[in-house]
Structure 1
Amino acid sequence: MTAAVDRILALDTATEACSAALYVQGDITSRCLVDPRGHARNLLPMIEVLLSEAGLKLQQLDAIAFGRGPGSFTGLRIAAGITQGLAFAAGLPVIPVSTLATLAQGADNDAVLAAIDARMHEVYWAAFSRDRDGVMQPVVEEAVCPPDRVTCPGRGEWQARGSGWKAYGDALNNHCTGRIVQYEPEALPHAADMIPLALQLYRQGRSVSAGQAVPVYLRDQVVQTAKLESK
């Protein structure tokens, strides 16, 4: 049975952008601010404004979605921590959403190579194709690797999106010559683009409890650090 959903709050702080979006019965309102060091300061006021403008209380939502990564280690922890706190307080389920899928969802093209600068001369990347419902689905699963190891799957044309293309455009193009028809290297994930992904996941029964709202870092050494810190 498909789960009904009318109200979802979406949060993302995985990159330089801090954004929040509120879905209410088909309508989406959002706030976004590019302030890499201000995520912890900016996110809660954004949420308060969105709920106030909609005349809603947190407890009236159906779920909270958050950008679970990959992305900035600190940024992911901020979104996950705030999501956990709000979800625990209001007794709401949580919908973890891929940051790369959110980045791809905002594209004009139906086939997207999403890449985020992972530092250390690596990128977080994945390939996506839009399904019949307009929601991006992975064609190549997300990974972290040097940019010259990224490949264009299949034989079609792709839209390139994300900071990985800004930082390592030449290297990323090594295996994609003639296959990229549109570049958006300045594109950042936005919580409003997370909404279609979150709705689909929720209807598929893929929400989790507040305690399971944890980031996905991809890098093994970062995961090990996070595990040690949690002990």
Structure 2
Amino acid sequence: MTLHLLALETSSSLCGVALLSRTDDGAIDLKLLEHDAVSEHAERMLPMVDQLLGQAGITPSRLSAVAFGQGPGGFTGLRVACGVAQGMGFALEIPVIPVPSLQAAAAREHVSLSGSAPLQIVVQDARMGEIYLAAYQAGLESGRASWQEVQAPVLLDAAQLGDWLDFAANAWGLTYRSGARLQGDAIQAYPALADLAKGRSWLQIGAPLRSDATSVARLALQVWQEGGGIAPELAAPLYVRDKVAYTTMERELGAGGNPRAPEHFVSLERMQETHLDAITHIEASVQAFPWTRGNFADGLQAGYDAWVAMQSGQVVGFCMTMFAPDVAHLLVIAVSPNGQGRGVGAQLLRRCEQEAVRRGLAAVVLEVRPSNENAVRFYRHRGFELLATRKDYYPAEHGKREDACVMKKRLA
């Protein structure tokens, strides 16, 4: 039976629709329609889908999944692709596969997987002197190309990219042998970025590539082959710029995606005993019934997987996970009050998921208080579903008890 996968990409001015068809013997056929124009995605997307399916001679009912470029990118474009994908997913009762657009751009660059591939740093024009940035490491896993997210998508002032590159070189030990390639359409939008290779022997300048629908389709196929895909109602765009109009004072304070590099960059480190005082303080500041220092020390002693998020030399967040034979159990995760809303929690959660995948585990489970609506929303937005309810699991005020929502996320 032939697999038919539809892919949509509208994160930039390029509006693209691709149809990937794979036969039982593994042969792949890709068909593509594209239109490059600003502010026309909404009116062109559905007619392009109909046209492409008509050219292929298949009906929508034969589609197995629909993928979309998740972003980051323009607000309107991202909503169009996500909305169409959700609508088709609901109507056809098929899964939706979100694909990070910067990862799709990285996957367009030919990378040899036989040796040590350079780190792929993707920079996409975000207008207003800013860029979207993410970094991916290509490799081989079970005979297939794999892409490890090293830096989650962030918004950065284009003038600060040099500072970020120096931070990255220090944090990840980039050298001439294991270097990095800078690519993406921001190189074309800001020609001065190409000069950043001067004095950085480990940095190559790649092509000004953007994500396209065919690259989204190929990455989505790999997710599909690994049993991935989510319910349509869980699909959401990946917004990095949460606000477009900022005052001059807000920008001077770092708003609008202009962090003062490199002190605002967050890196993850293995939790050590020297971190215990800091994480105990954070835990006490965000939980009414916090873990104690002894609880964290016992977890380290038991060999639980634990990470801290570091910013300007300070611990701003942490997580601790227990790996069972069949599932990863996220025991605790927290971000300091002044570090919340900046993607630190998402970065920690992604590391937990990556470590679980590396161990061959199929899912992550956790417990959360139903009264903690922000946390429940955070987990749902990242693909967790309610699995069960544990009665009287948590201590509550006045000697009472509170139920726990048991949530689960299946991993690709």
TM-score normalised by L of structure 1:
0.84
Does 1:55 find its partner at 2:57?
Answer: yes
Query: Residue 181 of structure 2: which of 159, 176, 179 is its match?
Result: 159
Structure 1 residue 175 displacement after superposition: 7.6
Alignment of 1:91-110 (within 5 A): 91-109=93-111, 110=117
Alignment of 1:33-182 (within 5 A): 33-109=35-111, 110-111=117-118, 112-132=120-140, 133-147=144-158, 148-149=160-161, 150-151=164-165, 152-153=168-169, 154-155=174-175, 156-171=178-193, 174=196, 177-182=200-205
- The answer on whether the counterparts of 1:14 and 1:75 sit within 8 Å (CA) in structure 2 is yes
- Distance, in Å, in 1 between the alignment partners of 2:98 and 2:75 is 16
Identify the range of structure 1 (207-216 vs 61-70) with the bigger mean alpha-carbon deviation: 207-216
How many residue pairs were aligned? 219
Does 1:22 find its partner at 2:19?
Answer: yes
Identity %: 32
Residues 56 and 135 of structure 1, relative CA distance in 2, 3 Å threshold: farther
Residues 64 and 5 of structure 1, relative CA distance in 2, 3 Å threshold: farther
- The answer on whether the counterparts of 1:7 and 1:23 sit within 8 Å (CA) in structure 2 is yes
- The answer on whether the counterparts of 2:2 and 2:21 sit within 8 Å (CA) in structure 1 is no
Structure 1 residue 93 displacement after superposition: 0.8
- The answer on whether the counterparts of 1:59 and 1:92 sit within 8 Å (CA) in structure 2 is no
- Distance, in Å, in 1 between the alignment partners of 2:60 and 2:109 is 30
SS in 1 for 2:127: coil
SS in 2 for 1:131: strand
SS in 2 for 1:71: coil
Deviations 1:163-221 (A, max 9, x none): 22223343575487333434322x22111011221122223333111112210102244
Residues 28 and 137 of structure 1, relative CA distance in 2, 3 Å threshold: farther
In structure 2, stretches of 5+ residues that fail to align are: 23-27, 112-116, 245-340, 342-412
- Distance, in Å, in 2 between the alignment partners of 1:98 and 1:5 is 26
Query: Residue 240 of structure 2: which of 215, 218, 221 is its match?
Result: 218
- Distance, in Å, in 2 between the alignment partners of 1:175 and 1:143 is 21
- The answer on whether the counterparts of 1:70 and 1:99 sit within 8 Å (CA) in structure 2 is yes
SS in 2 for 1:196: helix
- Distance, in Å, in 2 between the alignment partners of 1:119 and 1:36 is 13
Structure 1 residue 34 displacement after superposition: 0.9
Structure 1 residue 77 displacement after superposition: 0.7
Q: Which has the higher contact order (CA 8 A, sep 6+)?
A: 1
Structure 1 residue 129 displacement after superposition: 2.4
Structure 1 residue 18 displacement after superposition: 0.6
- Distance, in Å, in 1 between the alignment partners of 2:196 and 2:21 is 43
- The answer on whether the counterparts of 1:101 and 1:137 sit within 8 Å (CA) in structure 2 is no
- Distance, in Å, in 2 between the alignment partners of 1:209 and 1:5 is 22
- Distance, in Å, in 2 between the alignment partners of 1:129 and 1:172 is 21
- The answer on whether the counterparts of 2:133 and 2:153 sit within 8 Å (CA) in structure 1 is yes
- Distance, in Å, in 1 between the alignment partners of 2:6 and 2:94 is 11
- The answer on whether the counterparts of 2:197 and 2:203 sit within 8 Å (CA) in structure 1 is no
- Distance, in Å, in 1 between the alignment partners of 2:135 and 2:195 is 14
Deviations 1:55-114 (A, max 9, x none): 211121110000111011111011111111111111111000000001111112354211
Residues 182 and 173 of structure 1, relative CA distance in 2, 3 Å threshold: closer
- The answer on whether the counterparts of 2:197 and 2:205 sit within 8 Å (CA) in structure 1 is no
Q: CA RMSD in A?
A: 2.4
SS in 1 for 2:190: helix
Deviations 1:1-43 (A, max 9, x none): xxx9822100000001011111111211111121122111222
- The answer on whether the counterparts of 2:13 and 2:36 sit within 8 Å (CA) in structure 1 is yes
Residue 25 of structure 2 corresponds to none
Residue 184 of structure 1 corresponds to 207
- The answer on whether the counterparts of 1:124 and 1:142 sit within 8 Å (CA) in structure 2 is yes
TM-score normalised by L of structure 2:
0.49
Structure 1 residue 135 displacement after superposition: 4.1
- The answer on whether the counterparts of 1:59 and 1:91 sit within 8 Å (CA) in structure 2 is no
The structure having more radius of gyration, on CA atoms, is 2
